[in-house]
């Protein structure tokens, strides 16, 4: 087992400002995650738009050194301020960020390739409880 810093929260709902923690507690994760990307970090999930995949309160392990591909769950930062976790689909350069929720109120977010929005995505590799069982 290895440890990653829990650096803040990501919202699994409507896009919002990312929340950062004042100090970085660590969470224990399987070693293979650190072997794949030593820069891995954790974000606590807030909201229910991804609750079919990751219930609120879980930790999403993000791997910034692993390229996100169409079909992956990602943490997306939009225009430098919004942070959201969704499943990413890329079609002809257009980006679709889709919820996987039991709540029907959540909708896809579309960002066209020609939009002037700045989008940064990072691959989410793993979900787990904050506390070890």
Listed in sequence order, the residues at least 6 apart from 108 whose beta carbon sits closer than 8 Å to its beta carbon are 96, 97, 98, 99
For the segment 14-42, the average pLDDT, to the nearest whole number, is 77
Angle value at C-alpha 59, between 69 and 33, nearest 5 degrees: 55
Q: Which residues on neighbouring strands pair with residue 55, listed in sequence order? A: none
Most confident among 49-53, 82-86, 96-100, 128-132 (mean pLDDT): 96-100
The residue behind tokens 């976790």 is 85
User: Are the C-beta atoms of 29 and 4 separated by less than 8 Å?
Assistant: yes
Confidence of residue 16 (pLDDT cuts 50, 70, 90): very low
Whether residue 20 is predicted with pLDDT greater than 80 in this model: the reply is: no
Q: Which residues on neighbouring strands pair with residue 123, listed in sequence order? A: 63, 74
Lowest mean pLDDT among 7-16, 58-67, 98-107, 123-132: 7-16
Angle value at C-alpha 101, between 131 and 89, nearest 5 degrees: 100
Q: Whole-angstrom Cα distance, residue 89 to residue 35?
A: 27
Q: What is the pLDDT of residues 59-113, one digit of tens each?
A: 999 999 999 999 999 999 988 876 789 999 999 999 999 999 999 999 999 999 9
Confidence of residue 125 (pLDDT cuts 50, 70, 90): very high
């Amino acid at each position: 087992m290895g440890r990653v810093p829990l650096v803040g929260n990501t919202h699994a709902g409507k896009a919002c400002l990312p929340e950062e923690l004042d100090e970085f507690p660590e969470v224990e994760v399987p070693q293979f995650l650190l072997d794949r990307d030593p820069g891995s970090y954790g974000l606590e999930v807030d909201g229910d738009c991804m609750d079919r995949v990751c219930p609120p309160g879980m930790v999403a392990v993000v791997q910034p050194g692993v390229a996100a591909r169409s079909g992956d769950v990602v943490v997306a930062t939009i225009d430098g301020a919004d942070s959201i976790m969704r499943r990413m689909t890329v079609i002809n350069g257009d980006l679709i960020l889709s919820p996987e929720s039991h709540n029907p109120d959540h909708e896809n977010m579309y960002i066209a390739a020609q939009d002037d929005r700045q989008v940064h995505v990072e691959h989410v590799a793993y979900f787990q409880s904050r506390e070890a069982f």
